[in-house]
Amino acid sequence: MSELPKAYEPQDVEKKWYASWNDAGCFRADENSSKEGYSIVIPPPNVTGILHLGHVLNNSIQDILARRARQKGKEVLWLPGTDHAGIATQTKVERQLRENEHMTRRDLGREKFLERVWDWKEEHGGIIIKQLKRLGCSCDWDRERFTMDAEYSEWVAKVFTDLFNQGLIYRGKRMVNWCPVSLTALSDEEVIMKPQNSKLYFMRYELVDAPGEYLEISTTRPETLMGDTAVAVNPKDERYGKYVGRKVRRPFPPAEIEIIADDHVDVEFGTGALKITPAHDKNDFEIGQRHGLEIIDIMHPDGTINCPEVPELDNLDRFVARRKAAAKLEEMGLLIKVEEYENSVGYSERADVVIEPRISMQWFLKYPAVPEATEAVANGDISFRPERWRKTYANWMENIQDWCISRQLWWGHQIPVWYRKEKATELQEAESLDMNDLQHGDIYVGTVPPTDEDNWVRDEDVMDTWFSSWLWPFATMNEQERSKFYPTADLVTGPDIIFFWVARMIMAGYQFTEELPFKNVYFTAIIRDAQGRKMSKSLGNSPDPIDLMDKYGADGLRFGLMRIAPVGSDICFEEDSVAEGRNFANKLYNACRFRQMNSDARLEIPASWEGIELPATHLDILAKLDGLFVSLEKSYANYRFNEVCQQLYEFFWTEYCDKFLEAVKGDFRSEDPAVKELTLKVMDTVMSRYLQCLHPFMPHITEELSLRLGFLADDEFVMQKELPTEPVLAGVDAADIAEAQRVAAAVYQAAARLRNLKAEYKLANSRDVKFVLKPAGEWVTSQIDTLAVLAGAKEVSIDVDYAPERGTPAAVTDIGEAYMPLDGLIDVDAEKKRLSDEIAKVEKDLQKCQGMLNNKNFVDRAPEAVVAVERERLAELQAKVAQFNEMLAAL
């Protein structure tokens, strides 16, 4: 046993232990082990990423699961890695090029640009990995994967080729989210909806067959009217029934377009008549498909207008063109009015610009294994926690649409498709490509280039980043690793990517491995600030986890955050919760120092407590320790990590420190060394097991204290030590345990009442107080010394015939009637004055409160919650007055 320093310094301890675990290979999974396999694959953070509180929550949960599984005797693989983050990474490197060298990627060319990206990745791409290590994550870092690794890239190419050969991948023109800055298609997940103060433009289109008669139209985007190919109304809208089938004149460039009826039109929006621009709105596109409308694209990829027929708008930025188009309508006498309008607008997550719905030639995937993936969650083969997300998942699977898997980037997995050089231009401009083109020999699809590569031109697009990450659970492992660790046990992720990642991984698992990829999915909560706002850099309400760890320690951050993270509810984060985690670590440390201060001897903990006579408080704390093991097991089984955290907190702070440690302080003043030794052995029994239980949440400090207190053998780690399977009190008579717990509970309850009596008379800190007890039975005699220590009393004497003076403060407890004679303890006259002053003060507040509640206007008009608070306050004030009057009468 080595002496603990006076103060706990988490930074030094955490750095030391993480290095020790890593150097000893504690994180390394053995695929040849005979132990039961347990595995988690880390949701790969973007290689551009830095740690935020969402990462802390997610990875703390994974680490807790991994460390707990090791304690249960399993061979654990927690496989880490990062995602190449196509758009985010390319954007960073392109920005550097512009700012430092005034160049674009096209100035460099594809090959040299990709060399720059790899250089950037090697220099800056490991930041978040280092930060996860700082948090204490016990990942198998020797198996760290990257979605652009050669082996992983082979998987991606193979999957694309197989799916294409099965007729599930094709190329065609479809409506996509388009970023006019990054010049690429985006997934829905890469589009952030933001509330906007927009404008709603009301204009009129002249009826072709009734010159001078107009149909009123409403739109938020007048700059796209050059692409209008119809006006739509709802068939149920009686206002417009007579117009359906007729035509109106599009103002510019002039054209006659038909009025159509479609159920999609919202009768309540604007005028109820909408201009339909199939090339520039997803809903308009679908309406256009239903009605066979012409598709006119009037916008360049960079968001500028492409309409030479209207030269005053041609090549203008779309938002400039919006104002110009409105002004042109006004000049033509066709603009009726403009109203302020609040709506949600999609922004590119990386470029932070408004996205454009755009018709674009892209590669698409018809999802495979949909029935298997749907059924797996429906029948419980894959469990969702919280379970309510099953409904969200099922709804998406029922309405699944083809996946746009191509991106117009250079950084990423390049589409493994080659076009015959002499037909390349024709094929690249073709409306669609599928298996027929492969069979005709016009295209080549494969995991390696064609042998006569010089005669072919490769497709320039890369695959959506999600197309590589949907393979993550199995493509990260070799065959031997999969045989041991696949399917994985748990996936911890956010519900915001339930479609983009979770559902796709399930489909990929069934398609390519013929089994599910994981058994349990735990969806983490959203972390919000004290005002309920989602944390973000733009709001400045998201603290840096590294700063928090510098201030409170990684263990303090983990414990503080996990304690406020209930299943299925968002987290309201305040820094005080992390401070409480740090305070808990200090409390733990000081309790262990208290043990060392009373003896630095390393004692042999009994293998069994059967046949050893123990005081009630000792037997009680050991029974509660056994109870803790049972309750923790139940909470872990239900993935209720905050419950586990709270149980660990309550046991240690309340049951062990506030009760047991206080109760046994007298043992260390005993003249009998056996008394002291027995108490030390009980303390060691509790702490050795408790530190194991706490380890998944606070790994560093538990490792430090276990070593310092002599609970570990040489070269042994808490993180590798299996939890005991037998209860501490195995073999001890259950009736004896029950009786001890009854006695201990009575003593603790009585001590609390005696402390309250002292506090009522401002004697809380006085050690001169004597109590007289009329006991509830003979058994009480053996508990008197313990009761005196817990009550902070000079003495507790037993007197079955005690006749108290009138007004002596008393308390009825489970161990008998307790009295506190006040002789010599207080200045009676001064106490009378104090109580009289207190009564006057409370009665004044009481009168004010009663006045408010007697005021009918207040009761009728104030919010119900406010009135309820006042009524509760009235009851509290009345109780205080009664208590003070009793105390005054007693004097």
Q: Which parts are annotated binding residues for ATP? A: 537
521 DSSP β-pair partners: 384, 491
Taking a C-beta distance cutoff of 8 angstroms, is the pair 623, 729 a contact?
yes
Q: Give which of 465, 507, 463 is closest to 367, Cα–Cα.
A: 507
Q: What are the E-state strand segments in 56-113?
A: 75-79, 81-82
Residue 255 phi, psi (nearest 5): -165, 155
Q: How far is CA 858 from the centre of its chain?
A: 43
DSSP state, residue 208: T
Q: Which residues contact 127 (CB under 8 A, 6 or more apart)?
A: 49, 50
- Supply 404's token pair: 């746009």
- Give the Cα separation of 185 and 362 in Å (integer): 8
- Give the Cα separation of 700 and 691 in Å (integer): 11
Q: Give which of 523, 527, 536 is closest to 571, Cα–Cα.
A: 527
The alpha-carbon radius of gyration of the chain (Å, integer) is: 36
Q: What are the E-state strand segments in 4-68?
A: 37-41
Please, what's the b/e burial string for 335-344 (b: 16 or more CB within 10 A of its CB; e: otherwise)?
bbeeeeeeee
Taking a C-beta distance cutoff of 8 angstroms, is the pair 364, 174 a contact?
yes
Please provide the DSSP assignment of 127-160 as one string. HHHHHHHHHT----GGG-EETTSHHHHHHHHHHH
Q: What are the E-state strand segments in 671-769?
A: none
- Give the Cα separation of 684 and 215 in Å (integer): 86
Judge residue 392's burial from the number of C-beta atoms within 10 Å of its C-beta, 0-12 exposed, 13-18 middle, 19 or more buried: middle
Start-to-end CA distance of the chain, whole Å, equals: 54
- Give the Cα separation of 597 and 791 in Å (integer): 23
784 DSSP β-pair partners: none
Q: Tell me whether the omega of the peptide bond preceding residue 487 falls within 30 degrees of 0, making it cis.
A: yes
- Give the Cα separation of 446 and 468 in Å (integer): 16
Handedness of CA 330, 331, 332, 333 (dihedral sign): positive
Query: Which residues define the annotated binding site?
Result: 537
Q: Beta-carbon neighbour count of residue 182 at 10 Å?
A: 23
Please provide the DSSP assignment of 374-392 as one string. HHHHHTTSSEEESTTHHHH
Q: How far is CA 676 from the centre of its chain?
A: 47
Q: Give which of 573, 697, 576 is closest to 642, Cα–Cα.
A: 697
- Give the Cα separation of 1 and 707 in Å (integer): 7
Q: How far is CA 563 from the centre of its chain?
A: 13
* 3 state DSSP class of 870: helix
Residue 23 phi, psi (nearest 5): -65, -30
Please, what's the b/e burial string for 463-479 (b: 16 or more CB within 10 A of its CB; e: otherwise)?
bbbbbbbbbbbbbbbee
Q: What are the E-state strand segments in 3-93?
A: 37-41, 75-79, 81-82
Q: Which residue has the tokens 């709506």?
A: 343
At 466, the amino acid letter reads W
- Give the Cα separation of 588 and 442 in Å (integer): 71
- Give the Cα separation of 516 and 499 in Å (integer): 16
The four Cα atoms 252, 256, 259, 264 give a dihedral, to 10 degrees, of -50
